[in-house]
Amino acid sequence: MLMRLQKFLAEANVASRRKSEEIILEGRVKVNGEVIKSLGTKVESEKDVVFVDNKEVKIEENLIYVILNKPLNCVTTVKDQFGRKSVLDYVSEIKERIYPVGRLDYDTSGLLILTNDGELTFKLTHPKHYVEKTYIARVDKLPKEKELERFRNGLLIDGKMTSKAKIRVIDKKSFILEIKIYEGRNRQVRKMCAEIGANVKELKRIKIGNLELGNLKSGQYRKLSESEVKYLKSLG
Ligand code: URA
């Protein structure tokens, strides 16, 4: 298929389209052996040979979409400098190279999507798309209504306001909260909770949009159905 170079790079999982444009302008991309710095360039995805930083990149033909119940104590990065277990260890039967969509902390469990569909990855993780992510958090102290309201209206974390969020107490005795956020900033739920005086003790993601973790056990994965993939593509 004939497409713009930046679209090719995004679909090949190199980076978002915008970041790919920067990579092109930096002169890091070669097409058929020639450095290309112009954003208008088109490539034939099945024919042209594209290198980024002297490594060949390709669009994966066979698109795979997986949902994993991420266990605690594993990283979402592909490689870890401390040699810790990675989410990829749980999907090692899948032969295609797939990548996590966004991040969950080492000490967060729950719903994680993995795919080799770069377009979908960038759609679901780009802040402008406001995809709803639902978490269950156990905290060390029940926040007062006034604090919950502050949480809902957005809070200052790392010097920047969060967008509006949802929070409700689902178990008063055990200090369990249901939280919905629409961004994916670093340790966002933990930082937002800390900001209202409640430290997160346990955190699990149970939904992305309407896609639910369901009864997948910790460490188990399954492929998404066609209608689930279609639904995810409709988000964003
Ligand atoms: N917010 C967090 O604080 N951690 C996660 O892993 C996900 C969202």
The whole-number average pLDDT for the span 5-21 is: 90
For residue 9 the two structure tokens come to 């790079």
User: What was the pLDDT predicted at 11?
Assistant: 87
- Ligand 1 pocket, mutate which of 108, 166, 204 (most atoms under 8 A from CB): 108
User: Residue 191: which CATH number?
Assistant: 3.30.2350.10
User: What was the pLDDT predicted at 4?
Assistant: 94
The whole-number average pLDDT for the span 190-198 is: 97
Residue 235 lies in a domain: no
In a shared domain, residues 40 and 112: no
Q: Is the pLDDT of residue 79 over 80?
A: no
Residue 31 lies in a domain: yes
Dihedral (CA of 206, 176, 90, 121) sign? positive
Angle, CA of 58, 63 and 68, to the nearest 5° = 120
User: What was the pLDDT predicted at 128?
Assistant: 77
- Ligand 1 pocket, mutate which of 103, 111, 151, 201 (most atoms under 8 A from CB): 103
For residue 178 the two structure tokens come to 């249901």
In a shared domain, residues 85 and 12: no
Q: Is the pLDDT of residue 41 over 90?
A: yes
Which amino acid, one-letter code, is at 93? E
* Active site residues per annotation: 105
Q: Is the pLDDT of residue 82 over 90?
A: no
> Could you tell me if 28 and 47 are in contact, meaning their C-beta atoms sit under 8 angstroms apart?
no
> Could you tell me if 139 and 177 are in contact, meaning their C-beta atoms sit under 8 angstroms apart?
yes
In a shared domain, residues 157 and 200: yes
Give 236's pLDDT tier (boundaries 50, 70, 90).
Answer: low
Q: Is the pLDDT of residue 209 over 90?
A: yes
Judged by average pLDDT, the poorest of 60-64, 96-100, 182-186 is 60-64
- What is the domain extent for residue 47? 2-57
In a shared domain, residues 215 and 147: yes
Ligand 1 site, residue 203, Cβ cutoff 6 A: yes
pLDDT in tens, 116-140: 998 899 889 887 788 999 999 999 9
* Residue 34 phi, psi dihedral angles, 5° rounding: -115, 130
In a shared domain, residues 36 and 132: no
pLDDT in tens, 43-61: 998 899 999 999 999 887 7
Closest atom of ligand 1 relative to the 103 alpha carbon = 6
The whole-number average pLDDT for the span 22-35 is: 96
- Ligand 1 pocket, mutate which of 158, 189, 191 (most atoms under 8 A from CB): 189
DSSP secondary structure code for residue 137 in this structure: E
Query: From ligand 1's centre to the CA of 158, what distance in Å?
Result: 14
In a shared domain, residues 52 and 124: no
User: Residue 51: which CATH number?
Assistant: 3.10.290.10
Q: Is the pLDDT of residue 158 over 80?
A: yes
User: What was the pLDDT predicted at 83?
Assistant: 87
Query: From ligand 1's centre to the CA of 104, what distance in Å?
Result: 6
Ligand 1 site, residue 88, Cβ cutoff 6 A: no
- Count the domains in the chain: 2
Give 6's pLDDT tier (boundaries 50, 70, 90).
Answer: very high
Ligand 1 site, residue 70, Cβ cutoff 6 A: no
Residue 53 lies in a domain: yes
Residue given tokens 């104590």 in the structure block: 73
Which amino acid, one-letter code, is at 16? S
Ligand 1 site, residue 74, Cβ cutoff 6 A: no
Which amino acid, one-letter code, is at 198? A
Residue 236 lies in a domain: no
Helix, strand, coil share (%) of the chain residues, nearest 5 = 25, 30, 45
In a shared domain, residues 89 and 118: yes
Residue given tokens 């988000």 in the structure block: 235
The whole-number average pLDDT for the span 14-24 is: 91
Question: How do strand 200-208 and strand 109-115 relate by DSSP bridges?
Answer: parallel
The whole-number average pLDDT for the span 22-45 is: 94
Ligand 1 site, residue 105, Cβ cutoff 6 A: yes
Which residue from 170, 162, 112, 166 is spatially nearest to 138, judged by alpha carbons?
Answer: 170
Ligand 1 site, residue 190, Cβ cutoff 6 A: yes
For residue 170 the two structure tokens come to 């689902």
Give 173's pLDDT tier (boundaries 50, 70, 90).
Answer: very high
CA-nearest residue, atom 4 of ligand 1: 187
In a shared domain, residues 44 and 77: no
- Mean pLDDT for the chain? 94
